[in-house]
């Protein structure tokens, strides 16, 4: 017996429903703000202003968004193969090693535009290699990828602490970080882009890695929907049985997809190391790998959704920092609560309002919800 589950127009699916989810998240967050005795409307204004109020703030928002685009794409690619890569955090962290080894060894002799491509390769290779191990274990040993990637986050974190404290730290320094990179490994800022639009930017860290992130969004789109490999990945993700029937080897797809995913997560390391701090410090990933999961969920694993979702989370980071500064009652932890609510409503409870919206649409205009019909014209 077929169960009628009506479909909705695309703009509702991709526009209205995420918007409703977001709105509910902000309303609940507003209640939390009310509980600590602040005015939610003023808080919202400060948050939004802090994220988009000036060229400076926009640049910061986009700087954070850059990180989330990379990790969001990483999670999305794995999703398409039905794999849940929770290891973006560790893959990005360990890739700091690939980036800083390239940067530290070449920054004295080469200009940034030679070092940058090599550092991209370094980042991608390290991230892919780190993702390869859980992928191999899943493909050949059946060890669940969720468990192994989580464990690899811890291994990466501990390994990096050891390397930064005992190996990479310059002699005599007190801080667990590498030496400062020379101009040959410092990426150009993109402040001129915002300034050309008439906005003023003083010293924001937005840099060319943002452009790389946008390029990778296009590359991921082409990979998933336009290449043979992407076809195989999607087939495997939708139906492993159909993939087997089609002669698509499951080990190969798991390993290749996870390595691509790891490489994308790894590229995130370029942004803070070569674009902002010009050194590798402890915990430079700062949770971006986990935010990537929410970004991919919210962006429906499609680059066109991931980029705006990443900017939204960039806004929460940047605006949230301003909010914590302006309203003493609202601590950093409150901002994390707000982010958590957004993840909850936009990610985990993504389909909570769907049936209601569907009913409303069905009663207003039955024609707009074309049912998967036996002989219908479809969408």
Partner 1 sequence: MADAAIELIGINKSFGAVHANRDIHLEIPRGTIHGIVGENGAGKSTLMSILYGFYQADSGEIRVGGKPTAIRTPNDAIAVGIGMVHQHFMLVENFSVLENIILGAEGGALLGGSIARARAELARLEREYGLEVEPDAIIEELPVGLQQRVEILKALYRGAEILILDEPTGVLTPAEADHLFRILGQLKEQGKTIVLITHKLREIMAITDNVSVMRQGQMVATRVTRQTTVEELAELMVGRRVLLHVEKGAASPGEVKLAVRDLVVKDVRGVVMVEGVSFDVRAGEIVGIAGVAGNGQSELIEAICGTRRAVSGSVLLDGKPIDVTGNADPGDLRDRGLAHVPEDRHHVGLVLAFEEAENSILGYHDDPRYLRGPFLDNDAIVADAEDKIRKYDIRPGNPHLKTANFSGGNQQKIVLAREMEQDPGVLVVGQPTRGVDVGAIEFIHKRLIAMRDHGKAVLLISVELDEIRSLADRILVMFDGRIVGERGPEASEGELGLLMAGIEKKEAAE
Binding site for partner 1 (CB under 8 A): 1-2, 4, 6, 222, 226-229, 231-232, 234-235, 238-239, 241-242, 244-249, 362, 366-379
Q: Closest approach of Cβ 372 to partner 1, in Å?
A: 5
The residues near 311 (Cβ < 8 Å, ≥ 6 apart) are 61, 62, 65
Q: Closest approach of Cβ 240 to partner 1, in Å?
A: 9
Q: Which of 70/236 has CB closer to partner 1? A: 236
Structure tokens at 206: 């937005």
Neighbours of 22 (CB within 10 A): 16
Distance CA 209, CA 307 (A): 14
Looking at residue 178, the DSSP 8-state letter turns out to be P
Task: Provide the 3-class DSSP secondary structure of residue 12.
Answer: helix
Q: Which of 232/322 has CB closer to partner 1? A: 232
Q: Which of 202/367 has CB closer to partner 1? A: 367
- Yes or no: say if 47 and 319 are a contact pair by the CB < 8 Å rule: yes
Q: Which of 255/324 has CB closer to partner 1? A: 255
Q: Closest approach of Cβ 80 to partner 1, in Å?
A: 11
Q: Closest approach of Cβ 110 to partner 1, in Å?
A: 31
Q: Which of 8/119 has CB closer to partner 1? A: 8
Strand residue runs (E) in 313-357:
none
Q: Which of 8/123 has CB closer to partner 1? A: 8
Q: Closest approach of Cβ 334 to partner 1, in Å?
A: 40
Degrees, nearest 5: CA angle 294-116-99: 60
Query: Which is nearest to 332 in space by CA: 298, 279, 287?
Result: 287
Q: Closest approach of Cβ 81 to partner 1, in Å?
A: 13
Q: Which of 42/252 has CB closer to partner 1? A: 252
Q: Closest approach of Cβ 59 to partner 1, in Å?
A: 36
Distances (CA, A) of 352 to 12, 27, 324: 14, 16, 30
- Yes or no: say if 168 and 133 are a contact pair by the CB < 8 Å rule: no
Task: Provide the 3-class DSSP secondary structure of residue 207.
Answer: strand
Q: How far is CA 50 from the centre of its chain?
A: 21
């Amino acid at each position: 017996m077929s169960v009628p589950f009506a479909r909705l127009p695309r703009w509702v699916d991709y526009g209205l429903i995420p918007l409703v989810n977001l709105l509910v998240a902000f309303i609940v967050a507003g209640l939390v703000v009310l509980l600590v005795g602040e005015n939610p409307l003023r808080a919202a204004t400060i948050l939004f202003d802090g994220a988009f109020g000036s060229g400076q703030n926009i640049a910061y928002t986009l700087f954070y968004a850059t990180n989330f685009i990379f990790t969001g794409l990483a999670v999305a690619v794995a999703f398409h193969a039905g794999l849940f890569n929770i290891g973006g955090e560790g893959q990005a962290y360990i890739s700091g090693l690939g980036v800083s080894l390239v940067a530290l060894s070449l920054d004295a002799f080469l200009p940034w535009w030679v070092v940058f491509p090599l550092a991209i390769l370094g980042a991608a290779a390290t991230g892919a290699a780190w993702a390869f191990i859980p992928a191999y274990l899943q493909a050949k040993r059946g060890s669940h990828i969720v468990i192994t990637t989580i464990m690899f986050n811890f291994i990466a974190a501990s390994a990096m602490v050891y390397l930064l404290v005992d190996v990479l730290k310059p002699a005599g320094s007190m801080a667990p970080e590498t030496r400062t990179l020379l101009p040959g490994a410092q990426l150009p800022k993109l402040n001129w882009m915002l300034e050309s639009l008439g906005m003023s930017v003083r010293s924001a860290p937005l840099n060319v890695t943002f452009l790389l992130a946008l390029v990778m969004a296009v590359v991921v789109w082409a990979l998933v929907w336009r290449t043979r490999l992407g076809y195989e990945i999607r087939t495997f993700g939708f139906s492993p049985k159909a993939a087997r029937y089609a002669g698509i080897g499951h080990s190969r797809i798991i390993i290749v997809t996870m390595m691509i995913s790891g490489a994308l997560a790894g590229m995130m390391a370029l942004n803070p190391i070569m674009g902002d701090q010009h050194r590798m410090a402890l915990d430079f990933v700062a949770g971006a790998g986990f935010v990537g999961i929410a970004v991919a969920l919210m962006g429906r694993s499609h680059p066109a959704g991931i980029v705006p979702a990443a900017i939204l989370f960039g806004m929460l980071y940047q605006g949230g920092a301003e909010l914590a500064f302006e309203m003493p009652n609202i601590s950093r932890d409150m901002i994390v609560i707000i982010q958590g609510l957004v993840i909850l409503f936009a990610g985990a409870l993504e389909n909570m309002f769907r049936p209601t919206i569907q009913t409303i649409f069905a009663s207003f205009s039955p024609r707009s919800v074309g049912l998967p019909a036996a002989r219908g014209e479809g969408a």
